[in-house]
Amino acid sequence: NAGVTQTPKFQVLKTGQSMTLQCAQDMNHEYMSWYRQDPGMGLRLIHYSVGAGITDQGEVPNGYNVSRSTTEDFPLRLLSAAPSQTSVYFCASRTRAGSYEQYFGPGTRLTVT
């Protein structure tokens, strides 16, 4: 199993550009989510999904869109990048049952200039 994969690993955007951060998992996990990590603030939940076709907002959803058309994929779209979105983004997944451990991807470091 590859676990949770994220692409790209690094990205630089100009203000106003749009892009999609990709996240995929091969563990057949129902739950997936996106977090952003900023210095001194830990990780904050952006959006999450409890299954294909079902998504909801987390703590800091503004400026981001998600969709979940398959169990495996959960892309995060930045509609019009802003410098405040400079951050490290983590995708995570977990099964509905079991140990409730979340499996995190390796992260995407995004810089918006």
Partner 1 sequence: AQKVTQAQTEISVVEKEDVTLDCVYETRDTTYYLFWYKQPPSGELVFLIRRNSFDEQNEISGRYSWNFQKSTSSFNFTITASQVVDSAVYFCALSREVEYGNKLVFGAGTILRVKS
Please say which residue, 14 or 39, places its beta carbon nearer to partner 1.
39
Shortest gap between Cβ of 4 and partner 1 (angstroms)? 10
Q: Which of 23, 105, 108 is nearest to 68 (CA)?
A: 23
Shortest gap between Cβ of 101 and partner 1 (angstroms)? 5
Shortest gap between Cβ of 78 and partner 1 (angstroms)? 20
Token pair 């800091």: residue = 60
Shortest gap between Cβ of 95 and partner 1 (angstroms)? 10
Its sign, for the CA torsion 92, 29, 63, 58, is negative
Please say which residue, 65 or 103, places its beta carbon nearer to partner 1.
103
Please say which residue, 14 or 101, places its beta carbon nearer to partner 1.
101
- H helices of 58-106, where? none
Q: Which residues pair with 64 in a beta bridge?
A: 78
User: In a 3-state reduction of DSSP, which class is residue 103?
Assistant: strand
- Name the site residues for partner 1 (rule: CB under 8 A): 31-33, 35, 40-45, 48-50, 56, 58-59, 88, 90, 92, 94, 96-97, 99-104, 106-107
**Phi-psi bin for 46: left (phi > 0), alpha (psi -120 to 50), beta?**
alpha
Please say which residue, 17 or 50, places its beta carbon nearer to partner 1.
50
